[in-house]
Amino acid sequence: MSHDFEKKETKELTNYQFKQIFSQEELSCILTKGLREAYEDAFNRFPYNETFQPGEIDTMFYEYFHNGYIFVVSREEQIIAFSSAVPIVCVPDIASILIGQKGVSESSWYLPDVGVRHAYEGKGIVKTLMKKTLEILPQTSVTLRTSEDNIRAQGLYSSLGFITMPELRQEIPRPRMNGRVESDRRLFMLLRR
């Protein structure tokens, strides 16, 4: 990234607050002040079209908090983006697929959820959030999973140095906005550090 872009990116994002969550009380507050809604907005549209049971989002984020890190981005006190990072061994279904693959070990990290409200896509918020998230993590490989159909996210992750792990796919059955449980295919990406 050129220095001029960094200046532009920093200037354009001055109205946004990037924050790491440091306490369970803070997480509880953030969940009630918009994190749930931001999560739903990020994942209840194409390509995921997912719906969530009451309490499901809270449970995920409490697990992320207890095992790793959570970051949020807010603007005018509204949560607009989020990311999470946990040691890969804390996510057994992912660990069983990835540990042993070239570049992935028990010391690797996994980014289970990264998202942004639809109205804020394409503004550089997630790229900056990802950079801040990666800065905090130990210098080991980092993995993530995204929909095969989420071309925009794949491009973003590639621009940060992630590479698609060939032939590794996972079918994810989830309740969808149409009221049915349907599967979508996810691919895995790896950042070697």
Give residue limits of the domains in the chain: 3-191
- How remote is the C-alpha of 126 from its chain's centroid? 9
Q: Tell me, what's the pLDDT at 166?
A: 94
Q: Which two tokens stand for residue 123?
A: 């503004």
Q: Looking at the predicted structure, is the pLDDT value of residue 9 above 60?
A: no
Confidence of residue 13 (pLDDT cuts 50, 70, 90): confident
pTM of the model: 0.91
pLDDT digits (tens, 9 = 90+) for 30-86: 999 999 999 999 999 999 999 999 999 999 999 999 999 999 999 998 999 999 999
Q: Helix, strand, or coil here: 140?
A: coil
- Topology adopted by domain 3-191: Aminopeptidase (3.40.630)
Residues ≥6 apart with Cβ < 8 Å to 126: 81, 83, 114, 115, 116, 156
Can you tell me which residue has the tokens 């801040």? 132
Per the prediction, the chain carries an average pLDDT of 93
Q: Stretch 135-161: mean pLDDT, rounded?
A: 97
Q: Tell me, what's the pLDDT at 12?
A: 65
